Structure 1
Amino acid sequence: MALWRGSACAGFLALAVGCIFLLEPELPGSALRSLWSSLRLGPAPPGPLSPESRLAAAWDTLIVQPARRWRRVAVGVNACVDVVLSGVKLLQALGLSPRSGRDHAILRSRNDLEEAFVHFMRQGAAAERFFSDGETFHDIAHVASELPGAQHYVGGNAALIGQKFAANSDLKVLLCGPVGPKLHELLDDNVFVPPESLQEVDEFHLILEYQAGEEWGQFKAPHANRFIFSHDISNGAMNALEVFMSSLEEFQPDLVVLSGLHMMEGQSSDIQRKRLLEVVTSIADIPTGVPVHLELASMTNRELMSSIMQQVFPAVTSLGLNEQELLFLSQAASGPHASLRSWNGVPDVGMVSDILFWILQEHGRSKGRASDLTRIHFHTLVYHILATVDGHWANQLAAVAAGARVAGTQACATETIDASRVSLRAPREFTTSHSEGGSRVVLNPNKPVAEWHRGGVSFYFTPVLVCKDPVRTVGLGDAISAEGLFYSEVPSLA
């Protein structure tokens, strides 16, 4: 009888706490959890009491379909097969041991690979590098493919973005890139590949993953992430660019997504300049009113990044990038906070906001500048920001929330956010700018998108619910950008 009374009492008290939450939803989660603990009912469940659950529920309310949706999306030009495996296990299988971390703009040997991997693993940062020795790379790739646990996936920013769009059955998706037999087999049936893009041999990229807290020698990863390297000739030369552009006239897309410019780092400066000019000329041939999104990726060549910024940014409508690319971009052009060598942990929101504003001020559309750039989607592990020039985009509150939500579901491989498997790690308070008087924002899980305005630019910030035990980190940035674009709307399309 005593046991029954105890259970009934616990149930009654739990119901009371639930009623408090319903009546006072703004009561801080910490207060509710303290109340729960004081009643000695055990750990608070990951239900409506947790900030993670409240934030996920608020997202679901905010994420609404745009009034005008894309019908045909064309994506190019980098595609490959990703071989995904444990970075530590591969380097051990290659007989390498952790000695010291050091970045290499281009990998020329196994030792360069070991040093670069350690350099980024101990930061928990994503990176991508070109391996210049083709024979050594193919030997490493063979070892990687044979290791237990190695998996093959669709790879390359364009292919990954196309694959994500193809999950929406009412969208028609065109993909142009070097598509070999293995990649063609892996692609969604809803992705159309022109015959001119098919080739006999696949391009392989090796994706070395590590988990949060994983150790190798004296080094420990603070976050789960990945290090990518390849000896990719077709994508490096952007061989699919001409096929991509020539296919647009027949396909008639209402959204174009371009990626793969970072793959040119292995090319000479002359080839880089020539290809960038061809890119800009080709974009100019796309009908007015069709937005062009450029997805950036990890780079080390400052001259190439500066050229992309000067030549390509004004030709595109939208950008997608992460914290490594954002800071490198500012460093390459002496922008705001360029003296910062690297982010110290979570990228400072005010600094990120300053750089985003500077990009749109220097290279975006304005009364005195003929530029098409009006939107930037920034993503880092614990939060996202969408910055848009006022008057050119709609539904961006839903877009940034959708991008953050897909980061949590895809990393955990779940259909919806599982509050017990994610954690809210975004800063609870931040300043929106350091360059000029920014406002102070306090994070509220019940209202998870913070909005502020500066000089004709609107900013939309939302936290990410970070997967505690991610199943796969590769392609998250591409999924985020695709999801954000899917929910975005260009009012002028009416």
Structure 2
Amino acid sequence: MKSLRCVRLFVTPWTVACQAPPSVGFSSVNACVDVVLSGVKLLQALGLSPGNGKDHSELHSRNDLEEAFVHFMGKGAAAERFFSDKETFHDIAQVASEFPEAQHYVGGNAALIGQKFAANSDLKVLLCGPVGPKLHELLDDNVFVPPESLQEVDEFHLILEYQAGEEWDQLKAPHANRFIFSHDLSNGAMNMLEVFVSSLEEFQPDLVVLSGLHMMEGQSKEFQRKRLLEVVTSISDIPTGVPVHLELASMTNKELMSTIVHQQVFPAVTSLGLNEQELLFLSQSASGPHSSLSSWNGVPDVGVVSDILFWILKEHGKSESRASDLSRIHFHTLAYHILATVDGHWANQLAAVAAGARVAATQACATETIDTRRVSLKAPHEFMTSRLEAGSRVVLNPNEPVVEWHREGVSFHFTPVLVCKDPVRTVGLGDAISAEGLFYSEVHPHL
């Protein structure tokens, strides 16, 4: 993937630069329109009041929506849920779309990553997802949509945002974040998978991004298993040497997550992107380390995160004795990022993880560069690199914010994030982080 290789020109704390690569093909699956607005204001407009928060694996009513939103806003945690009632969802979506402060953006993990790549004029992006008229209008000119992907109606996802310290009666958000819900059947059925596969030969991408597996939670178990097998078969048709990045998203179905991990999906991809909620849920679903932990308490413990990342790569990653391509995981949480890679397959990790941290601060604050007056440091000043083994104790050095350590053939690169105090927009941050990290990563030719 030499056309994606970046030359690190300089790296200072949270500052990275890269020599622009030549034109590169980039393919992705999963797309929608994000309707972004204040969660509290929308629920108030719907006549709802905050009660006792309660998580729901699937939303069936307005009351379920209110309870789930209260549950996650109280934790300041991101979440995404499927809304099963089509008519009720469309009624809520209409109110949201017509809300004076509502904004419409490109949505879908893969589309957001593709849009981020397309901002570089030298890169060309192929997007295979359900693209309606509004989404088509929002996409960058460098994003090519095959005719088979165009449809008459957009798939809308509602993004209910809240700010740090925002109050709703007795409820108060500890962090800025968002709650996402949709009744998205096209992405849920991965209807564009065949279009995507048939387009690869002509487009000849240097990188493939796959997402939307979480959208299958609204489907039957039989459908999920059948579609995942087809996903693996499709990935196997991608030419050898073309990295495949899988971006995970919020899920509640442990059986589906376990199937994704064990039914050859993980071994079929080269790289993973995920946040703290997805990482813990993955470990709980597949009986990984620290799976007895019910939820994170504040900033996720670095040693615990490191243990789970190490387990994923050791149990499902690339090795001499295992037929797997997985060799890279980009983990991101509000306060810090970790890039874990199997030794010998990736380079430029320092620049990649630093670039991800930088874009997290600039995009959240909607600034070109980091404004030190608008950011704060929430990462631990010292931490253990493992909670299962005799890990080392790390004390952060502000002059060298990227910390590196190694564990049985796996390299870890950690960097704190300068967190925006008054974020303009939180949705899509994880996708921007993953895109930026991929842009700066170098994959070795023998991968």
Is the counterpart of residue 211 in structure 1 residue 163 in structure 2?
yes
Aligned partner of 2:120 in structure 1 is 168
Q: What is the SS of the residue equivalent to 1:492? A: coil
Q: 1:441: how far off?
A: 0.6
Which letter does structure 2 place at the counterpart of 1:409? T
The equivalences for 1:74-93 within 5 A come to: 74-93=26-45
Aligned partner of 1:417 in structure 2 is 370
The equivalences for 1:348-367 within 5 A come to: 348-367=301-320
Aligned partner of 1:38 in structure 2 is none
Aligned partner of 2:380 in structure 1 is 427
Is the counterpart of residue 180 in structure 1 residue 132 in structure 2?
yes
Is the counterpart of residue 59 in structure 1 residue 14 in structure 2?
yes
Q: 1:74: how far off?
A: 2.7
Q: What is the SS of the residue equivalent to 1:372? A: coil
Alpha-carbon separation, structure 1, partners of 2:61 and 2:27: 33
Which letter does structure 1 place at the counterpart of 2:151? Q
Q: Deviations over 1:278-334 (max 9, x none)?
A: 000010011111100000000000000001111200000000000000000000011
Aligned mate of 1:273, from 215, 225, 242: 225
Aligned partner of 1:6 in structure 2 is none
Q: 1:368: how far off?
A: 1.1
Q: 1:367: how far off?
A: 1.5
Aligned partner of 1:39 in structure 2 is none
Aligned mate of 2:206, from 254, 258, 272: 254
Aligned partner of 2:56 in structure 1 is 104
Alpha-carbon separation, structure 2, partners of 1:73 and 1:436: 42
Q: 1:75: how far off?
A: 3.1
Aligned partner of 2:74 in structure 1 is 122
Q: 1:73: how far off?
A: 3.7
Aligned mate of 1:440, from 358, 379, 393: 393
Given that 2:24 and 2:122 are in contact with CA atoms closer than 8 Å, whether structure 1 keeps it comes out as no
Is the counterpart of residue 333 in structure 1 residue 299 in structure 2?
no
Aligned partner of 1:153 in structure 2 is 105
Given that 1:79 and 1:155 are in contact with CA atoms closer than 8 Å, whether structure 2 keeps it comes out as yes
Given that 2:21 and 2:122 are in contact with CA atoms closer than 8 Å, whether structure 1 keeps it comes out as no
Given that 1:69 and 1:489 are in contact with CA atoms closer than 8 Å, whether structure 2 keeps it comes out as no
Given that 1:70 and 1:254 are in contact with CA atoms closer than 8 Å, whether structure 2 keeps it comes out as no
Given that 2:330 and 2:338 are in contact with CA atoms closer than 8 Å, whether structure 1 keeps it comes out as yes
Alpha-carbon separation, structure 2, partners of 1:393 and 1:76: 21
Given that 1:69 and 1:486 are in contact with CA atoms closer than 8 Å, whether structure 2 keeps it comes out as no
Given that 1:314 and 1:370 are in contact with CA atoms closer than 8 Å, whether structure 2 keeps it comes out as yes
In structure 2, relative to structure 1, the CA distance for the partners of 1:219 and 1:321 (3 Å cut) is same
Given that 1:98 and 1:216 are in contact with CA atoms closer than 8 Å, whether structure 2 keeps it comes out as yes
Aligned partner of 1:401 in structure 2 is 354
Given that 2:27 and 2:205 are in contact with CA atoms closer than 8 Å, whether structure 1 keeps it comes out as no
Given that 1:75 and 1:161 are in contact with CA atoms closer than 8 Å, whether structure 2 keeps it comes out as no
Aligned partner of 1:131 in structure 2 is 83
The equivalences for 1:22-41 within 5 A come to: none
Is the counterpart of residue 317 in structure 1 residue 270 in structure 2?
yes
Given that 1:70 and 1:255 are in contact with CA atoms closer than 8 Å, whether structure 2 keeps it comes out as no
Given that 2:22 and 2:122 are in contact with CA atoms closer than 8 Å, whether structure 1 keeps it comes out as no
Q: 1:72: how far off?
A: 2.3
Q: Which has the higher strand share?
A: 2
Which letter does structure 1 place at the counterpart of 2:218? G
Given that 2:60 and 2:85 are in contact with CA atoms closer than 8 Å, whether structure 1 keeps it comes out as yes
Alpha-carbon separation, structure 1, partners of 2:228 and 2:12: 44
Given that 2:14 and 2:357 are in contact with CA atoms closer than 8 Å, whether structure 1 keeps it comes out as no
Aligned partner of 2:236 in structure 1 is 284
Aligned partner of 1:9 in structure 2 is none
Alpha-carbon separation, structure 1, partners of 2:243 and 2:199: 16
* Percent identical: 84
Given that 1:74 and 1:248 are in contact with CA atoms closer than 8 Å, whether structure 2 keeps it comes out as no
Q: What is the SS of the residue equivalent to 2:52? A: coil
Paired residue total? 436
Given that 2:28 and 2:128 are in contact with CA atoms closer than 8 Å, whether structure 1 keeps it comes out as yes
Is the counterpart of residue 373 in structure 1 residue 331 in structure 2?
no
Given that 1:389 and 1:458 are in contact with CA atoms closer than 8 Å, whether structure 2 keeps it comes out as yes
Given that 2:162 and 2:173 are in contact with CA atoms closer than 8 Å, whether structure 1 keeps it comes out as yes
Is the counterpart of residue 202 in structure 1 residue 154 in structure 2?
yes
Alpha-carbon separation, structure 1, partners of 2:14 and 2:218: 41
Which letter does structure 1 place at the counterpart of 2:66? E
Aligned partner of 2:172 in structure 1 is 220
Q: 1:77: how far off?
A: 1.6
Instruction: Point out 4+ residue stretches in structure 1 off by more than 4 angstroms.
Output: none
Alpha-carbon separation, structure 2, partners of 1:407 and 1:72: 24
Which letter does structure 2 place at the counterpart of 1:418? D
Alpha-carbon separation, structure 2, partners of 1:230 and 1:380: 23
Q: What is the SS of the residue equivalent to 2:69? A: helix
Q: Which runs of 5+ in 1 are unaligned?
A: 1-55
Given that 1:70 and 1:486 are in contact with CA atoms closer than 8 Å, whether structure 2 keeps it comes out as no
Q: 1:65: how far off?
A: 2.8
Q: 1:210: how far off?
A: 0.2
Alpha-carbon separation, structure 2, partners of 1:75 and 1:344: 37
Q: 1:70: how far off?
A: 7.0
Which letter does structure 2 place at the counterpart of 1:240? M
Larger Cα Rg: Structure 1 or Structure 2? 1
Alpha-carbon separation, structure 2, partners of 1:401 and 1:490: 17
Q: 1:59: how far off?
A: 2.4
Q: What is the SS of the residue equivalent to 2:18? A: coil
Aligned partner of 1:479 in structure 2 is 432
Q: Which has the higher helix share?
A: 1
Which letter does structure 1 place at the counterpart of 2:289? P
Given that 1:74 and 1:173 are in contact with CA atoms closer than 8 Å, whether structure 2 keeps it comes out as yes
Which letter does structure 2 place at the counterpart of 1:367? E
In structure 2, relative to structure 1, the CA distance for the partners of 1:330 and 1:487 (3 Å cut) is same
